[in-house]
Amino acid sequence: MVLGCRERVEQQGYTRLFGHGMDPVEELPKQQGDFLDETGQEPGPDSDVEALALPEASGERQHQCPALLWETLAKEFLEYEQASPYLIPEEQQRRLLGFLPLFVKAWEESGGIVSFPNVQFLASEVSKLLTKEIKKKLNGKPAEDARLAVARLLQLKGEEEDGCVLLRSVYLLSQIDSGTLWNIIKSGLPVALMQCLYLFFTFPLGKASDGETREEDEQVQEMFVQTMLNLYREEQGLEELLSAAELQSLIIAMASLWDQCNLSWKAPTGRVLRTISKAQTKTAVMYLQAADCIKIAIQNLFKLADTLPASDMCEAVSIILCFVKDSYPISSALLLEFENNDGYQLLVKILLRWEGSPHSEGDHHVEEVLDILTCLTVCGKTELKVSGNVTHPQLPHFDFEQTQSSGMTVKNLQAFQVLQSIFQKTSDLHLCRRILLAIKTMWAWDTMNFFLLEWTLQPISQFTDIIPLKPHLVQIQFFQLVESVVLELSYIPHEILKKVECLIKENLVPFCTIAALRCLHSITKRDLLFTDIFRDSGLLGQLLTQLRKQAKILRKTAGTQAPCLEQGTEQELTCVMLKMVAALVLGSVRNAVVIKDYGMVPYIKIFLDDECYRSDTLCILEQLSVINTEEYMSIIIGALCSSTQGELYLKLDLLKSLLRNLENPKCHSAFRTCSGFNGLLSLLSDMEGALQDPPSGAWAATGHSPILELVLYTLQGIAAALHLDPINSDFFQRNGLFEKLAEDLGSLGCFWTQEGQQVPVQLEKGRTFAEFLNAALYSSEPFPAWLKICIQILSFLDHMIKGTLHLASFLPEIKPAAEEPPWDVQKRPQDQQEGHCTSFKQLENKLAASDYRAWADPEDRLEGGNCAIIHPGAVCVMVRLLPKLYKEEHPEGN
């Protein structure tokens, strides 16, 4: 086995660790040549033990060949094994201790790969010697003196370091295999090490003979602890330990002296006890039960609970809980002992003290306590029996009878009640969030756990009443938990949802109300059934009442109040209410009628002016058009006509909404009767000079891309109203609106300057319109900006003639209002021009990839001798040919 970095001794530190800083050669009375006799043979068994130390040259050679080193060590140890029965104990010990440093070196040279035939006998000898030395230091001494003596035995530096060599050797041997480990266990070492650990933990360091306090070397401590872990993981090691009372003593001392113990040994003691806990056997449970370990530990911890910091208490009680949890698969005896001695009350007392205490250290201990407590909820022999009291209506695919248990159902309500009680009594962010996570974990173990808990203890229903008192992050997590009941369990918890609606109505904490509304909004999108449930429960009417009040406030205070934090919260709440109403009205004619009957249309219109409300407001109005198309058209056209020049993005949003509605042929008549054509043409009239190069006046700050986008959506609206509607086509032509359209487009400023002249552009060759468009947009030819804009507008008209301008395949992607992100991410960025420019570039890609045909004969080209000249006046004439072209394409007016 390869040693970890903490255990591995570096080559240059070898002499310091095991040779008192002296050179091995200088320690020996013999010279290097004395290792071989005159014939070159190895010395006999009577050679001095010190000859086992390797000369420097020999060590250098063996560093290069570990196999040779192991072979040499095997021969020398065989000699020791043969001679040991005839040696006095002192001589045996001296020879063995002289051999061990070389064994350690061989281990390191070979990277932990042992090639030693007598390793089990070596393990037995070394562990017996270490056990003997420990007992020698312990026997007949008071506890504090014994503790100091053992510490000196095992310390790395000082006059006595044989114990450290023994410990290191046992540590390495305990990693080889189970047979070697079993030989170590039979030596009695598990009990001896536990005696040492008890002293190290219980008694803080005493004074050395020189009056200075000596700290244990971390490396020695780690070797000591790791050796114990290796021994106690084995069932034989644990059984050996149970033959004495040291384990009982340590557990009781841990619970009673946690505030007075040696701080440097707290964590190591916890590691050892947790390892013992995981390795529990039936014999171990009987041992702990007979010694009343759990009972006495709980009583002692109760005495410390009021004075010891909560983090320390959690660390101590988590060790006791480990024994309770790990023993349960074997026997329920320790769990019963824990319950019968008020163990749950102790947990409540400790965890409630956590609130307000520093959380930087010990967080993982409270998490461990909560995790173990969560595991204890499924410890029990009898399944809980509850009657299925499912309230209808439910989602169509929900069937409680088919809900099968996985075997991980809650059986221990006492353990769960601890979690429930703590959540109800504390406002600590960390505790509350961990408990909600624990509940979600139980639901993940078994779907039935939600029903078992909610139909017996009503935790979620009770939590709803107090959730406004919790921190904001806890509120968000709680409503996500409620949401998961519907989204993941496919169950509608009617009682819980009613309480959530009461929270929204009371609106005691706006942030909590916002989180509750977002939860219900997410649930509503799951199934149309919720549009009926939340209407019948009165939630829709309640939201409309609140929106009416807010609309009146907006109308009175428009532009008069500076924004503040409170107003920001109110704005977010209003936005979420609008989003919820939009979700409730989507696909529900009955809910649209409710909004109309409430007289809400005039108030809903008010929210159009604020960009953060606009998306959901338009969604609501679009759904209202299902029952009254004329009213919707009147609102949209009126808002377009009344919008100012600077409200470009309002116009764009209104036009996009209009386009979505004009996909329905029934809306075409309403569009005409509500002066829709005149309204859209007036938008073009108001943009006079907006696309001249360079732009001037108020349009200079806007840029060409958003203006050209506005032109596109305006033409799309007109095209959608004309498409497949003979009456609209006749109306548009009979009233001279084609000419008006050509005039308005011509006034945009890209077709001529104020003086009526543009600089002619000379092109190298004739080309089709499609080629001309691609060249203008993507080639390196020097097309001026005004010409590029002209060509794009002409391409819009081309698609309008073909009847494809308004189709979804031509449009850039438009998100439905109900799917738009929350209000706080909807606001347009400061670089609005850049964002719209990017969007319009996507549109240009669609134009370039389209299958254009020439306006006249596809073979015709714009030619003028060797080069073609495109004059602005000619382009304007082509615009004025629109009525004729439209008539040619649609001879029947369709």
User: Which H or E element spans position 838?
Assistant: helix 832-849
Residue 739 has pLDDT above 60, yes or no: yes
Res 802: pLDDT: 79
HSE-up (13 A, CA, CB side) for residue 730: 5
Q: How many CA atoms lie within 13 A of 47 on its CB side?
A: 18
Name beta bridge partners: 221. none
pLDDT at 564: 60
Distance CA 127, CA 136 (A): 14
| Average pLDDT value for the chain | 81
Give 155-216 as a DSSP string.
Answer: -SSSS--HHHHHHHHHHHHTTS-HHHHHHHHHTTHHHHHHHHHHHHHHS---B-TTS-B-PP
Determine phi and psi for 419, rounding to 5 degrees.
Answer: -60, -45
Model confidence at 342: pLDDT above 60:
yes
The CA distance from 707 to 362, in Å, is 61
CA distances in angstroms from 176 to 123, 172, 191, 213, 524, listed in the order given? 10, 7, 21, 36, 62
**Single-letter code of the amino acid located at 319:** I
Nearest in space to 327 (alpha carbons), one of 263, 380, 387, 280:
280
Hey, how many other C-beta atoms are within 10 angstroms of the C-beta on 869?
13
Round to whole Å and give the CA distance between 164 and 167.
5
One-letter amino acid at 43 equals: P
The string of pLDDT tens digits covering residues 842-881 is 444 444 433 333 333 333 333 333 333 443 433 444 556 4
Asked whether the beta carbons of 792 and 844 are under 8 A apart, the reply is yes
Please name every residue paired with 762 in a beta bridge, in sequence order, or none if there are none. Answer: 869
> Residue 893 pLDDT more than 90?
no
Amino acid identity, position 101: P
Q: Given this model, what pLDDT does residue 362 score?
A: 57
How many Å apart are CA 349 and CA 196, to the nearest integer?
Answer: 33
pLDDT confidence bin for 361, thresholds 50/70/90: low
Residue 646 or residue 336, greater confidence: 336
pLDDT of residue 15: 31
How would you classify residue 213: left for phi > 0, otherwise alpha for psi between -120 and 50, otherwise beta? beta
Confidence band of 762 (pLDDT split at 50, 70, 90): low
Strand (E) or helix (H) holding 145: helix 143-154
Residues 846, 851, 857, 863, Cα dihedral to 10°: 50
Q: Stretch 266-283: mean pLDDT, rounded?
A: 96
Continuous segment of H or E residues that includes residue 568 = helix 565-585
When comparing pLDDT for 376 and 780, which is higher? Answer: 376
At residue 294, the 3 state secondary structure works out as: helix
Structure tokens at 38: 């005159």
User: Model-level pTM greater than 0.85?
Assistant: no
842-853 per-residue burial string, b: 16 or more CB within 10 A, e: under 16? ebbeebeebebe
pLDDT of 355 reads: 80
Query: What distance in Å separates the CA atoms of residue 719 and residue 861, rounded to the nearest whole number?
Result: 28
Q: How far apart are CA 256 and CA 437, in angstroms?
A: 32
What pLDDT band is residue 512 in, cutting at 50, 70 and 90? very high
- CA dist 460 and 479 (Å) reads 10
Higher pLDDT, 115 or 377: 377
C-alpha distances in angstroms, 198 versus 213, 223, 254, 257? 20, 16, 9, 11
User: CA-based angle 198:200:203, to the nearest 5?
Assistant: 95
Q: Are 660 and 814 in contact (CB under 8 A)?
A: yes
Q: Which of 744 and 467 is assigned the larger pLDDT?
A: 467
Check whether 191 has a pLDDT greater than 90. yes
Nearest C-alpha neighbor of 375 from the set 403, 342, 408, 398: 408
